[in-house]
Each structure stands twice: as C-alpha cells, then as structure tokens.
Amino acid sequence: MIATILIHCPDQPGIIHSVTGFIHKRGGNVVYLDQHVEKEDRVFFMRLQADFRQDTWEEPSFREAFGKGPATTYAMEWRLYLEDRSRMALFVSKYNHCLYDLLSRYEAGELNATIPFILSNHPDCEPIARQFDIPYYCVPVTPESREKAEARQLELLREHQVDCIVLARYMQIIGPSLIAAYPNRILNIHHSFLPAFAGAKPYHAAFARGVKIIGATSHYVTEELDEGPIIAQDVTPVSHMHTVSDFIAKGRDLEKIVLARAVQLHLHRKTLVYNNKTVIFA
C-alpha cells in the first residue's frame, strides 16, 4: 500500500526527521521523498511516498495520528492520497486534438484516472465520445444561459463525483462557482507561452509580433483569466515562412503534449500550489 503525502508549512529544523520518524514507527518505508524550501518566504514543501506493508496499517488512524502529531507541531497543510484513481471530467468545445490525445492515452491505460463524462458547449465532439464509449453532455452557453449552464455543470460534476476537470480546449470562461468548488483542480491549456499573448487569438498575436518561438501553457484555472499557477510549458520554433495556420497546426502538437504532461503531474499528485505558483515534484 503506497501512500502519498503532500505537505507545506513554515520552514524550521527537524521536519523531515519528524515525518520520516513518524512513518517509520508505523511500519512504513519511505520510497520517495522530494522536498523544497522557498527561501524568501521560508516555506517548506515535501512530497513523500511510503510503502506500508503491515496488514495493521489503517488509513483513518494514520490520518488522525498524523494530524495530531507532526501536522500540528509544524502547522502543516497536508494531504494524503492512497492509490485511488481520480475522477476526471473533460470539457471541450469544437477542437478535438487534445480530446483525442487524452482519450487515446486513457484507452491505452496511461492515465491514473476514470473519465466519467465529456462536457461541451457544442455537439461537434459527440461522435468522438461515442467512439470511446464515454457519456457526452452538451451544455450550450450563451450570455443569457450562462448561470443556468454553470448550475448544470456543477450538478453533473457532483452527480459523477468528479475530482478534477480538464479543459481540453474549452473556449468558454469557467464560472466562479466551479472555480470555488474545484480550487487548483481545473487544468486549462492556453495556446501561448504565458504571460505572452494571454487572452483570445494568441497565435494571431504571435504572428503579428513576429516571434521566432511559439508556446503552450497548462495552468490551474483561477478567477483571473490566464493568470493561474503554471503547471507546464513548452515551445517550438517558427519562422517568417509560417502563416497563422501553420502556427495553429504546430500549436496543436504543443497543446496536446503540454496538457497531457500537466494532467499526468496532477494525477500523480506531483503538483503543489503556493502563492499562485506551482511546486512540481520530480
């Protein structure tokens, strides 16, 4: 039984020793430990995986003891995950390259997740959902229906007990109630090298500026559009020979790779958000 623990707390001497001792005493073997100290703010971050082999290990009592023990001593914010799969909803609009990419990884068993449904504001991707035998909900969004749509989205997310949401090129703004319900659990892919070219039509803007490299950025969604904590970025060279269409085509490959990378980091509990930035454990 592998347990993954994510911790952050004010930095002080003895944290690692205390946590590893706690685990040791309960029969655990630390199989992974990565820590980081943000020196400016003196904050300590740790991701630790322990293998508990004893039949006697029980999650509830561990949680309670850890909470009263090291977590209290060091004023930790902490989370404990067992080997459970996340329930991950996909939101799309009309573009299907990120959707296809995630679904083929899903089908190949590469994702530690269950995809209970795909939601879209358009009917276009429904055949793909059918191809992969996943429920598809079309929830159109108009200026008038925005609130109603958001309520319907929340209802679906709750009904399907969704843990996290992946916006696989979903071209609508996510409502505040969703962001509040899924803090640092909504992953977006923005088709630029943020903070360059935030907002709409980044490839057109990149073309107009004459950049020699374009990028894609996956980040957690916050109330500030395209301003959330960055999880992953990547870039590809372009030249004067490329048209906006070429940028878009090259960008598709970037987008799917970067989004998939961020999704994997999230599903493996390798991300920790602090100060609108991410700590990405190795």
Footprint on this chain of a second copy (rule: CB under 8 A): 13-14, 16-17, 20-21, 24, 28-39, 45, 96-97, 100-101, 104-105, 107-108, 110, 131-132, 193-197, 209-213, 215, 229-235, 239-241, 243, 249, 252-253, 257, 260, 275-280, 282
Q: Taking the complex as a whole, how short is the minimal distance between the CB of residue 211 and a second copy, in angstroms?
A: 6
Q: Which residues of 18-42 are buried (b: 16+ CB within 10 A; e: fewer)?
A: ebbebbeebebeeeebebbeeeeee
Q: Which two tokens stand for residue 130?
A: 């059918």
Residue 224 gets which letter from DSSP?
Answer: S
Q: Which is nearer to a second copy, 177 or 276 (CB)?
A: 276
Task: Pick between residue 16 and residue 181 the one whose CB is nearest to a second copy.
Answer: 16
Question: Quick check: bond before 195 cis, omega within 30?
Answer: yes
Q: Which is nearer to a second copy, 160 or 274 (CB)?
A: 274
Tokens coding 26: 């309960």
In the complex, the smallest distance separating the C-beta of residue 194 from a second copy, rounded to whole angstroms, is 7
- Give catalytic residues, as residue numbers: 226
Asked if 124 and 94 touch (Cβ cutoff 8 Å), the reply is yes
Measured from the CB atom, the residue of 16 and 138 that comes closer to a second copy is 16
Closest CB 39 distance from a second copy, rounded Å: 7
> Is the distance from CB of 77 to CB of 84 less than 8 angstroms?
no
Q: How far apart are CA 138 and CA 92, in angstroms?
A: 10
- 119 vs 257 by CB, closer to a second copy: 257
Tokens of 16: 């690692």
Q: Report phi then psi at 71, rounded to 5.
A: -60, -35
Sequence-distant (6+) residues with CB within 8 A of 138 are: 119, 120, 121, 122, 123, 126
CB 172 → a second copy: shortest distance, Å? 21
Q: In the bound complex, what is the minimum distance in angstroms from residue 235's beta carbon to a second copy?
A: 5
d(C-alpha 186, C-alpha 172), whole Å:
13
Cβ distance to a second copy smaller for residue 101 or 163: 101
Q: Regarding beta strands 164-167 and 136-138, do their DSSP bridges make them parallel or antiparallel, or are they unpaired?
A: unpaired
Could you tell me the smallest distance in angstroms from the CB atom of residue 195 to a second copy?
5
Token pair listed for 282? 């190795």
Q: If you ran DSSP here, which 8-state letter would residue 259 be given?
A: H
